[in-house]
Amino acid sequence: MAHTLADHMTTVTDAAVFHLCTRAAFAAARAAGAYRADSLQHEGFIHLSRAHQVLPTARAYFAGVPDLVLLVLDAASLGEALVFEPPAPLPTATPKPTDADADADALYPHCYSAIDLACVVDVMDHSSFTGVPVHADTMALLRQYRFDRLPVEGTLYRETWRSEQRLDSGAPTGTAMVGLYAESLGSLSRFHRLAHDEVWHAYGGDPFVLHLLHTDGTTSEVTMGTDAAAGQQAQVVIPANTWQAGCLLPGGRHALFGCTMSPGFTPSCFEAGHVAELTARYPAAAAIIARLGVTDDPPVC
């Protein structure tokens, strides 16, 4: 009898499972409407990984492979096609029974069908993955908002409003987005500045900090969150041309936030904050610039 995810809920409760592939392979999957790997034809299943297995798998099987991305898959959405079992090769395409007393950490996820693209909740740079499991609460947000990744910054985001009214320049009069910082997925905001004011809103989850480098050479921090008693700010305005970066406070799991701009956001109003240039101007902030500054322009996933 085939064992499914439900059979192992007492030992395997992963909200997300993962798959490493090239960017080109996933682009082909988007064009085809579903993801298939060669192993599906040859072995009967697609090899997946759990959070703690991703980095060892990358080192063992993908060393030197260029343009590698990590697909983050909603385990529940894979349904009965998802099976957790030992990594030994299977003689057939039928899932083998798993000993109920087997070490759950040694089980590997296998998908016994093509992967519907609706199951892919994130496509991230594999080098940004920390190996931390995705919590069920974080998965619920990924499932609901279907975030994309901002270029350069790497932030999980979804544009929610772009005004149909236009300025003389052609830019929208206003825009809004919802974003998610997620420790397990390496989602944060790298240093950048905008040509217009930006209003930040804290919606829920854990507190996060905005690091600000001001035009007069000073620096400051704002702790965003919904706990007013702890001094957290639910809303803050970042003035135009202020260098800004954001991330969760240590120990945080995720933070849901929003950003609103008027005039609205356009790519032309964005400038990335590179480490060398910012460090030269703000030497007192060298440590946080080294962590959150831009060293290059990573590709968009």
The string of pLDDT tens digits covering residues 194-216 is: 999 999 999 999 999 999 999 99
Q: How many helices (H) and strands (E) does the chain have?
A: 7, 19
Residues of the chain with CATH 3.20.170.20: 5-134
Neighbours of 30 (CB within 10 A): 12
Q: Which helix (H) or strand (E) holds 62?
A: none
Instruction: Say yes or no to pLDDT of 111 above 70.
Output: yes
User: What percent of the chain has pLDDT above 70?
Assistant: 89
The answer to whether residues 93 and 45 touch, using CB atoms and an 8 Å cutoff, is yes
Rounded average pLDDT over 220-233: 98
The answer to whether residues 245 and 150 touch, using CB atoms and an 8 Å cutoff, is no
The answer to whether residues 83 and 45 touch, using CB atoms and an 8 Å cutoff, is yes
Rounded average pLDDT over 265-289: 97
What the block records as the tokens of 273 is: 């904050």
Instruction: Say yes or no to pLDDT of 297 above 80.
Output: no
What global pTM score does this model have? 0.89
Residues of the chain with CATH 2.60.120.10: 147-292
Domain 5-134: state its class.
alpha beta
The string of pLDDT tens digits covering residues 22-65 is: 999 999 999 999 999 999 999 999 999 999 999 999 999 999 99
Q: What is the pLDDT of residue 13?
A: 85
Please list, in sequence order, all residues whose beta carbon lies within 8 angstroms of the beta carbon of residue 26, skipping any fewer than 6 positions away. Answer: 35, 69, 71, 123
**Strand-pair partners of 33:** none
Please list, in sequence order, all residues whose beta carbon lies within 8 angstroms of the beta carbon of residue 225, skipping any fewer than 6 positions away. Answer: 202, 206, 207, 208, 232, 233, 234, 255
- Residues across the chain: 301
Instruction: Say yes or no to pLDDT of 7 above 60.
Output: no
Q: With bands split at pLDDT 50, 70 and 90, how would you rate the model's confidence at 89?
A: low
The string of pLDDT tens digits covering residues 229-254 is: 999 999 999 999 999 999 999 999 99
User: What percent of the chain has pLDDT above 90?
Assistant: 85
Q: With bands split at pLDDT 50, 70 and 90, how would you rate the model's confidence at 1?
A: very low
In this structure, CATH architecture of domain 147-292: Sandwich (2.60)
Distance, CA of 229 to CA of 253 (rounded, Å): 21
CA-nearest of 234, 286, 294, 222 to 258 is: 234
